[in-house]
Amino acid sequence: MDISEFQRLISQKYKKRDQERGIPGTFLWFIEEVGELATALASKDQQNKAEEFADVFAWLCTLANISDVDLEKACAKYVGDSIKGFK
C-alpha cells in the first residue's frame, strides 16, 4: 500500500466525521497520539510502538485530508538527490 492509497482509505472511512470535528479538534487528537507514541518509545514494547506509529500516521493522514494536502505529493521533496527543506 502506498501513501496515497492509505490516505484515501482514511478519507473514505473518516473524512465526514473529521471535517465536522474541524482542524483544531483533529489536531488535538493528533497531538494526543503523538504523546502516546512518545510514551511507547520509552518502553520496550515493540508491538505498542508499532501501533502508536500507525495511529500517528492515520491521524496525520486525517489532518492532511481535511486540509486538502496530498501527503504523497508533499513527501516528494524527500525523493531524489536534492532534498529540499532538509535541516
| Residue 76 pLDDT | 87
Instruction: Tell me the pLDDT band of 85, cut-offs 50, 70 and 90.
Output: low
CA distance 59 to 71: 12
CA distance 71 to 3: 7
CA distance 76 to 80: 8
Residue 28 reports pLDDT greater than 90? yes
Residue 82 reports pLDDT greater than 70? no
Residue 38 vs residue 85, higher pLDDT: 38
Residue 17 within any structural domain of the chain: yes
Instruction: Indicate the number of domains in the chain.
Output: 1
| Residue 17 pLDDT | 95
Residue 82 within any structural domain of the chain: no
Instruction: Tell me the pLDDT band of 78, cut-offs 50, 70 and 90.
Output: confident
Residue 81 within any structural domain of the chain: no
Q: Which domain holds residue 40?
A: 8-67
CATH number at residue 45: 1.10.287.1080
Residue 43 within any structural domain of the chain: yes
